[in-house]
Amino acid sequence: MPANTRYKDSVFSFLFSNPDNLRELYSAIEGVTLPPDAKIDINTLSDMLYMQQINDLSFTIDNRLIVLIEHQSTINPNMPLRLLKYISHVYEKIISNKKLYHSKLEKIPKPEFIVLYNGKDPYPDHGLLRLSDAFKDIDGLSGNKDIALELIVQVYNINHGHNPDMLKKSEALGGYSFFVEKVREYEKELPFEEAFRSAIKYCIDHNIMKHFFENHGSEVYNMALWGWDIEEARTAWYEEAHEKGWKDGCEKGWKDGREEIARNALAEGFSVETVHKITGLDIETIQSFQ
């Protein structure tokens, strides 16, 4: 994926991996005030075999509410179906299969599904996507029976100038929206890399997500541009695994591949915590590479 199409995902995921930012984000979207002690458990899905994050944000609030938030540059009508798959996997993570066979009703966190849109195509401040819109025409087969399965996605336009109250209530979301707009503005006259750096500098100089960019600016920059290194490492890892045999090779390739990616990431200025998220290696192992 080209850098200028992936930078928004990098900044968004990095920024909202912070529980305090998630608490503020949810409060702004729903127009509520979550107390500072409201426990946020992040359970975003990832596939460690391929070192990929499967969905953007998934978190549980006080074990009562599961919120799945996707960040999109295009409005995808299949998002309800995708989120249906995501939520089933999230429930699998947090609920033991054994409990499903107990005679006592197993209480589960209520789900909410949100898409935050910041693409260039026009879109209203708010819209809805429904799973039922994807059902095939079954008139005459099911009569007038109620829909047995539905999933509703709330879509919010977070481009600068849309949903101003929401963006104002969440400093992180408002800052992110402004940053994306600034990158687009600079891209009209500068190559992407210069536009990206200039937008970070502008935000720091004008106290917009200043602390975030001062502490993580180089990391999000690398995350936006570093994809080719990860792909290269994966390729080498799989080649090694293939050459040395399926069982032993995969085991060694998995371990060596992650360690090589960790070393490269540290050399590029990534923090230990970020490398841990990328590779799944334990903190002590990563620190030994410094």
Of 216, 235, 261, the last residue of a domain is 216
Comparing 57-61, 142-146, 198-202, 238-242, the range with the smallest average pLDDT is 238-242
- Write the DSSP symbol of residue 163: S
Number of neighbours of residue 189 by Cβ within 10 angstroms: 9
Q: Residues with Cβ < 8 Å from 87, sequence gap 6 or more? A: 66, 68, 111, 113, 151
pLDDT surpasses 50 at 50: no
Are 25 and 161 in the same domain?
Answer: yes
Claim to verify: residue 282 and residue 147 sit in the same structural domain: no
Rounded Cα gap, residues 110 and 64, in angstroms: 6
What pLDDT shows up at residue 217? 80
User: Residue 58: enclosing H or E segment and its boundaries?
Assistant: strand 57-61
pLDDT band at 103 (very low <50, low <70, confident <90, very high): confident
Q: What integer is the mean pLDDT of 50-65?
A: 75
Residue 211 in domain: yes
- pLDDT in the model for residue 253: 59
Report the range of poorest mean pLDDT among 99-108, 131-140, 235-244, 264-273: 235-244
Q: What would the mean pLDDT of 168-172 be, rounded to a whole number?
A: 94
Among the ranges given (89-93, 125-129, 280-284), the one the predictor scored with the smallest mean pLDDT: 280-284
- Do strands 110-117 and 65-72 pair parallel, antiparallel, or not at all (unpaired)? parallel
Q: What is the pLDDT of residue 94?
A: 83
54 compared with 231, residue with greater pLDDT: 54
**Is there a single domain that holds both residue 108 and residue 237?**
no
Weakest-pLDDT range from 24-33, 173-182, 191-200, 259-268: 259-268
* pLDDT 10s digits, 138-154: 666 666 677 889 999 99
Same domain, 125 and 97: yes
Instruction: Quickly list DSSP for 116-149.
Output: EE--SS---SEEEEEGGGGS---TTTSTTPPPS-
Determine the Cα–Cα distance for residues 208 and 36; give it in Å rounded to an integer: 22
137: its two tokens? 């025409």
212 and 231 assigned to the same domain: no
Same domain, yes or no, for 243 and 204? no
The count of structural domains within the chain is: 2
**The tokens of 154 are what?**
């709330």
Could you give the 3-state DSSP secondary structure of residue 290? coil
CA-based radius of gyration for the chain: 21
Q: Pick the residue with more confidence: 50 or 78?
A: 78
The pLDDT value given to residue 48: 46
* Alpha carbons 269 and 216: distance in angstroms, whole number: 10
How many Å from the N-terminal Cα to the C-terminal Cα in the chain? 29
Residues 195 and 266 in one domain: no
Instruction: Report the alpha-carbon distance of residue 200 to residue 223 in Å, rounded.
Output: 14
| pTM, full prediction | 0.75
Residue 196 lies inside a defined structural domain of this protein: yes
* CA gap 233, 278 in Å, rounded: 13
- At residue 141, the pLDDT reads 67
For the cut 50, the answer to whether the pLDDT of residue 49 exceeds it is no
The SS3 of residue 17 is coil
Tell me if 221 is assigned to some domain: no
Of the pLDDT bands very low, low, confident and very high (cuts 50, 70, 90), residue 27 is very high
140 with 280, same domain: the answer is no
Tell me: the pLDDT tens digits for 69-80? 988 889 999 999
* DSSP letters for 231-242: HHHHHHHHHHHH
Q: Is residue 97 part of a domain?
A: yes
Residue at which a domain ends, from 186, 216, 246: 216
Q: Does one domain contain both 85 and 167? A: yes
Q: Are residues 202 and 231 in the same domain?
A: no
Domain boundary among 196, 216, 236: 216
Specify the pLDDT at position 150. Answer: 95
Residues 189, 52, single domain; the answer is yes
Confidence of residue 1 (pLDDT cuts 50, 70, 90): very low
Instruction: Examine residue 90 and state whether it is found in any structural domain, yes or no.
Output: yes
| 203 plus 165 within the same structural domain | yes
- Domain extent, residue 188, equals 3-216
What mean pLDDT comes out for the span 191-205?
Answer: 91
CA distances from residue 261 to 5, 229, 250, 253, 254 in whole angstroms, order as listed: 22, 8, 16, 12, 11
d(CA 261, CA 33): 40
Please check the confidence at residue 197 and state whether its pLDDT lies above 80: yes
